[in-house]
Amino acid sequence: MASPLLYHETQESKLCAVHCLNAVLQGPYFSELELAAIARDLDQSERDVMLESGGGDAHSPDYLRFVSEASSNVALDGNFSIQVLQRALAALDLKCLPLTSPELATATTEIAAYICNLHDHWFALRRIGAQWYNFNSLLPAPQHLSSFYASAFLDSLKNEGWSIFAVQGELPRDFNAAGASSPDDGSFGRWFTPQEAQQALELAASQESQKAAAEESDPMLEAAIKASLKDLDEPDGTKTTTTTTIPTREDDVEVDESELAAAIAASLADVKPPPI
């Protein structure tokens, strides 16, 4: 049996809600423009409800204050609300319910995807075949999770204050059959085999480790550089006298740079250095 393809979008701007939604659907079903249109429709619906509750007075202080506020469904940086994601999923006959919903307690259909949110970040956990994957747009590729770890991961997220929503319904099976020209066209994201995803994660971890190692400073070298610096001019034109400690293999040696300079100058002039 051929390996399944895993669709993954990496983070762009603040569009993690778009990336999360497409990870659940496993294909580039929605763009930020389409979600923005849904957000506008929701905003208008909320204005209509507010207007009706105020007796149809479009000049009432409450209504004017409401319409002057920023949208609650889309932020200026591109982040979207859960209501936008729910409306988008509803267009595909999918429900998106919080884990505390009574509907989930009596549900007979198996949950195949979770949407997780904390503050301004969204990501999805999705089952592909019999395997679970973490589709976090901050990762370079989908991260495989065992069933046990996926359950423990969700519990950990709940304890840390994340909002978690379960997606119910028949999820799309094959985006390519719905019109994608190629699983590797890269126009919206990228499809990985499980092996390619694992290799991408390992490569990213190795590069991050090398970067961290390169940024570590050598304390011996730092001290030597500082010791080689001469007296620095202060803004008022005076000189500062510094004492530098240079770590050595055996012990630390205190060097008074002004005294050292005086001694060198005296020896060159064949005169005795001033008393210290």
User: Cα separations (Å) of 207 from 200, 203, 204, 211?
Assistant: 11, 6, 5, 6
Please pick, among 8, 117, 121, 159, the residue that the annotation labels catalytic.
121
Tell me the one-letter amino acid at 148.
Answer: F
Q: Is 144 a catalytic residue?
A: no
Phi/psi for 151 (5° steps) reads -65, -45
The strand order across the sheet containing 113-118 reads 95-98, 163-168, 113-118, 121-128, 131-135, 143-145
Element (H, E) at 133: strand 131-135
Q: Which residues contact 63 (CB under 8 A, 6 or more apart)?
A: 47, 50, 51, 54, 57
The label of the residue with tokens 């469904």 reads: 73
- What distance in Å separates the CA atoms of residue 64 and residue 248, rounded to the nearest whole number? 72
The alpha carbon of residue 263 and the mean position of all alpha carbons in its chain are separated, in whole angstroms, by 58
Please pick, among 16, 20, 96, 116, the residue that the annotation labels catalytic.
16
Q: Is 50 helix (H, G, I), strand (E, B) or coil?
A: helix
Q: Is 116 a catalytic residue?
A: no
Complete DSSP assignment for 62-95: HHHHHHHSPPSSB-TTS-B-HHHHHHHHHTTT-E
Q: Is 136 a catalytic residue?
A: yes
Please pick, among 22, 117, 134, 136, the residue that the annotation labels catalytic.
136
Which amino acids are annotated catalytic?
16, 121, 136
